[in-house]
Amino acid sequence: MSTSTANETSKYLKGVCNFDKYPAVNVKGAKHPCVVGWEAIWDSVSLALGSNKCLVLECYPGVFENEILDSLKMYWPQIKIFQSKDCMKSEAAIEALVEPDVTEDEIFGYMTRLNIESFFEKEAIDSAKKQIADSRGPVLIFGPGASLLADNPDLLVYADMARWEIQQRFRQKMVANLGANNAELKASLKYKRAFFVDWRVCDRLKKKLMKSADFVLDTNTAGQPKLVAGDDVRSAYRQAVAQPFRVVPFFDPGPWGGQWMKEVCDLNANAPNFAWCFDCVPEENSLLLRFGEHLVEVPSINLVFYESENLLGKAVQARFGDEFPIRFDFLDTMNGGNLSLQVHPTTEYIQEKFGMHYTQDESYYMLDAGEDASVYLGLKSGINSDSMIADLNIAQNEGTCFDAEKYVEKWPAKKHDHFLIPAGTVHCSGANSMVLEISSTPYIFTFKLWDWQRLGLDGKPRPINIEHGKAVIDWSRTTNWVEKELINTVQVVAEGDGWIEERTGLHEREFIETRRHWFSKAVLHNTNGSVNVLNLVEGKEAIVESPTGAFDPLVIHYAETFIVPEAVKEYTIRPYGASEGQRCATIKAFVRTKP
């Protein structure tokens, strides 16, 4: 890290890292205790089942099924167990079923339209239902799709699983895809299958079951299970969308990763680097619910499914359904390397090729920058497009160096600069930058054009997507246009006692609006019909409060991202604690809902 950057970060650290890596929603008024440990859990389930017969335990893919079954057999040896996997189609049949959506591409597939029923043999389900009906004594129907085997179960337990934990289990070869025996498969290929097929299929089922599940089972931490009443979880979701909250950030290394987040976010100092942080990507992040002294982990996408209108706002929910459209993440290249040179698909292309209905427009907000920081953005005027593609292919096929600066404009970057990146624009962050990436949320649709002759963390070249990329590059995005349209298009739109509000983007082609507030006193915000996502980009800490006392205050620390549901309507933010009397700043993103 350069000296100037070290000085910048030290003013926030001062020997203490206050970034909260495990934020939680404090649940009030739970009617039932959170139950911890297998023996206590099965006691509670047995008591709830009583003299009834049929217990369904629906599992999200990635759950350690053997841990659950082994504990149950020890506690409840007389219960008869029916496993949903015994009614599934053969692995070969499932492979053929999902192949059109998984495709042969190493990274990209097609968003499936399959449902969980497609994975099962109807005759096998009918047979199992008859055996269940004929059974004496209590029965457990267990596994992904277990609820298909019981039309009206006496008790329904839903074992959920966070996406980030599933990914870790993929990497450790601990779990397989839905209906597959492929735990040994390369983690990225299991992730692709899950992203395009498994999670879509199982989320469609989850949306139906989460409204009626009697219990939610959290097994995200192996050997530390927790059981919560379904009514209490649903009540917690309703509470969460009535107040500002944070999701659980996660951090990951990368071939270009840097050192900034280690210091500011208090991460493992012995790790080689940290490249990514997903600080607000609800499909990937978890939400922690605090029930008394216990933290229960659920996928934060559950909140979007269950409370989409209150969370997103009516106009946003009408447009995006139960998808969360705004993404905040960190890209750390401090003492690292350039990101891959890349481009994102146009809306037409992502719809046609991948089945997504909107694309990854984005921006780079410079949370911090070294003296030599830069952003590659747009093309140089007068370049020949055929020559650029030819040189990219030569570099890819022959292992030679691509002269990026011959074709792509390189701009100096400093702290608080904002670079707008509508889809179709060639771009990447340079080294010695700390980027807060503000974007829409189609997740993985990045077409890498050039990766600076380096290998991935697995020692192998990362996939390059020149064919996809050349189909979407907007060759008119050249130097003059980029400078006018995409770099620091800052306008003061309002000001008051102790605060200034600036519009910083995004581009008119993008549906996200961003506003920066500089403030030394309390500033009033309105959600304006859309969920708001904010990050404290200047100042050590601030406090978010309700003008009417409608929710408990939320203290936010430097670089933390937080979500304000649209149902909150009004909220204030002011400097707090170590920042009282100082100038702070937030960057806020929301969906434009008015012309």
Of the candidates 159, 154, 156, which has an alpha carbon nearest to the alpha carbon of residue 138?
154
Mean of pLDDT values over 85-112 = 95
* pLDDT reported for residue 4: 35
pLDDT level of residue 2 (50, 70, 90 thresholds): very low
Q: How confident is the model at residue 449 (pLDDT cuts 50, 70, 90)?
A: very high
Phi first, then psi: give them for residue 115, nearest 5 degrees: -115, 165
164: pLDDT confidence band, cut at 50, 70 and 90?
Answer: very high
451's tokens: 């990766």
Other C-beta atoms lying within 10 Å of the C-beta of residue 418:
23
Task: Please state the rounded mean pLDDT for residues 524-540.
Answer: 97
Residue 2 tokens, joined: 């350069």
The structure's pTM equals: 0.94
Is there a contact between 169 and 191 (Cβ–Cβ < 8 Å)?
Answer: no
Three-class secondary structure of residue 560 per DSSP: coil
Q: Where are the domains of the chain?
A: 30-231, 246-485, 491-591
What would be the CATH architecture of the domain defined by 30-231?
Answer: 3-Layer(aba) Sandwich (3.40)
Could you tell me which CATH class the domain 246-485 is placed in?
A: mainly beta
pLDDT-derived band at 361, boundaries 50, 70, 90: confident
Q: What is the pLDDT of residue 9?
A: 41
- How sure is the predictor about 456, in pLDDT bands with cuts at 50, 70 and 90? confident
Distance, in Å, from the CA atom of 235 to the CA atom of 240, rounded to the nearest integer, reads 9
Beta bridge partners of 245: 563
Q: At what angle do helices 38-49 and 65-75 cross, to 10 degrees?
A: 70
pLDDT score of 73 more than 80: yes
5-41 pLDDT per residue, tens = 333 443 434 445 699 999 999 999 999 999 999 999 9
CATH number of the 491-591 domain: 2.60.120.10
Q: Are 339 and 428 in contact (CB under 8 A)?
A: yes
- Name the pLDDT band for 360 (thresholds 50, 70, 90): confident
**Is 453 buried (19+), middle (13-18) or exposed (0-12) by CB count in 10 A?**
exposed
* Fold equal for 246-485 and 491-591: yes
- The band of 350, judged by pLDDT with boundaries at 50, 70 and 90, is confident
Q: Return the closest-CA partner of residue 163 out of 195, 205, 116.
A: 195
Cis peptide before 506 (omega within 30 of 0): yes
Least confident residue range of 300-304, 357-361, 478-482, 574-578: 357-361
Using an 8 Å Cβ cutoff, are 243 and 215 in contact? no
What whole-number distance in Å separates Cα of residue 36 and Cα of residue 38? 7
pLDDT tops 80 at residue 461: yes
3-state secondary structure (DSSP) of residue 398: helix
Give yes or no for residue 541 having a pLDDT over 90: yes
Residue 442 pLDDT: 59
